[in-house]
Amino acid sequence: MKIRLPKIKVVQLNCGGTLIYEKTNFNQASSVRIGFSVGSAQNEINGTAHFIEHMYNHCTKKRDKETLVADIKKYFGTSYNAGTWRFATLITFTRVNSLLDQCFELASDMLINGDLDPKLMESERGVILEEYKRKLDLQKTSIGIDHENAMLEYIYSPQQTLGDEADLAKITPEVINNFKSKYYNKQNFIVSVAGSESLGKVKKYVEKHFAALPSGGECAPSTLQNIVKPSNMQVLEKELDTPLVYISLKCVGLNNPKHYTMGFLCEYLNGQNGKLFRLVRESGLAYSISASRCHFTESGSLDFSFKASKENVNKVIDKISIVVDDIMANGIPEDRIKQAKENFEYSFKESQTTNGREAVYNAVSYITKEPFTSQADIKAVLDMDKQTIDSYMRELFSKNTEVYVTIGGRGLKASDFYDLKTIKKMILKGNK
């Protein structure tokens, strides 16, 4: 199968900021992420960056609310969205190339010329407060954020990103203008485009419409630094009748192309024919269990997740240990490696018509300083033999790997389950 290898270019713009560009064959259309590499991590008052993002949709110094809403529908279409992350606030859209010039003009007006109508701000406070309450309700039945906070170098909470009622009351026009004056500038401006429009035209459009980007200002250090991280093992009170369990193996230095081999391992473990799925399902210990991979800056992780009764949680961990022993002894079968490589090739072929995903990945990779997937990475993955892949798997289950465990449910105690030391002994280098 012939696949398209990504050719990503990082260009410094004459108007200031950075353009991450990838040429694709996306049927005369392009996907765009555009905004500033600042987000909730820079909040001095919780919710500030997110509040500004919500105000994008209301009015500018050039467009009243009615005109702005009409132009968003006309130029961005139904693909429009905006989001606030820890380290970025971005507008997203996918449009035919013939409308890109108008789209960039609209984006520049929303990002640079936003107007702060006090009545609209008051209305938006209520909207954001409801969003905050929904997030809190979601956390009552989820352990994902708690688990991630333990693994990574920062703490996330809905209050940090959205703000609670007291925080939102403090966000005034002056607070917003100060935040934008400090961070919405040339240094932090970022554009990610994946599409069939030429780099020359994209660059021309952006530089024309963002010529008025303010100078000066710097991206301040994250306000999430110097925090106390949760322990590697957490047993949490959650509104879950059946305990939910996440177990992660975090391996530092697992960069391209190594982290792709974890995808091969996940394919081997998951699904109706998956080694781990069958072992757990056929024993009646849990209805389902899944293995997935994550790639962080300079590290990666293999994540197991499952729901099981309190009495069966340790028994499922026993099964994971058995599977790890098998991988350490025999690796991944040749036929499953071949199948995984075919799926890997297919995913890159499909990416030619799924620009939105590429624009997202390219922007996030640049902001978080993760390496882009290169032609050499893809070739290296496809050329890997069984011995090399199995060697990476043994590295993953070595003593250098950190283990994180989070269990959530009603009325649980740490003494109900194996402790972290026992789990590490079972999973790292098998049971040896």
| Residues in a beta bridge with 246 | 305, 406
Task: Return the number of other C-beta atoms located less than 10 Å from residue 61's C-beta.
Answer: 9
Bridge partners (DSSP) of residue 22 are 8, 194
CATH tag for 8-209 (out of 3.90.660.10, 3.30.830.10, 1.10.10.10, 1.20.58.1290): 3.30.830.10
In the predicted structure, residue 412 carries a pLDDT above the cut 80: yes
pLDDT value of residue 376 = 65
Give this prediction's pTM.
0.82
- The band of 3, judged by pLDDT with boundaries at 50, 70 and 90, is very low
- Can you tell me whether residue 403 is helix, strand or coil? strand
Q: Report the pLDDT averaged over residues 305-328.
A: 95
Q: Please write the tens of the pLDDT for every residue from 344-360.
A: 777 766 654 545 555 55
In DSSP terms, which residues pair with 2 in a beta bridge? none
How far is it, in rounded angstroms, from Cα 369 to Cα 365?
6
β-sheet bridge partners, residue 202: none
Kindly give, in sequence order, each residue whose CB lies less than 8 Å from that of residue 379, ignoring residues fewer than 6 positions away. Answer: none
For residue 21 the two structure tokens come to 């560009």
DSSP assignment of 312-326 equals THHHHHHHHHHHHHH
Residue 244, beta-bridge partner list: 307, 408
pLDDT score recorded for residue 346: 73
CA–CA distance, 168 with 343 (Å, rounded to integer):
46
pLDDT at 339: 87
Over 60: is that where the pLDDT of 307 sits? yes
pLDDT score of 90: 94
Select the more confidently predicted residue: 263 or 375. Answer: 263
Q: Which residues does residue 404 pair with via DSSP β-bridges, in sequence order?
A: 248
Number of helices and strands in the chain (H, E): 17, 11
In whole angstroms, what is the distance from residue 268 CA to residue 386 CA? 13
Look at the domain 233-427 and name its fold: Cytochrome Bc1 Complex; Chain A, domain 1 (3.30.830)
Tokens linked to 341 = 């490589």
Domains 8-209 and 233-427 share a fold: yes
Give the mean pLDDT of 215-222. 67
Scan for tokens 């899944």, then name that residue: 290
Domain limits, the chain: 8-209, 233-427
Q: In terms of pLDDT, which residue wins out, 258 or 388? A: 388
More confident residue, 205 or 249: 205
User: Could you give the CA distance from residue 403 to residue 397 in angstroms, rounded to a whole number?
Assistant: 10
Per-residue pLDDT band for 223 (boundaries 50, 70, 90) equals low
Asked whether residue 369 carries a pLDDT value surpassing 70, the answer given is no
Q: What is d(CA 350, CA 397) in angstroms, rounded to the nearest whole number?
A: 32
Residue 142: closest CA among 288, 293, 281, 307? 307
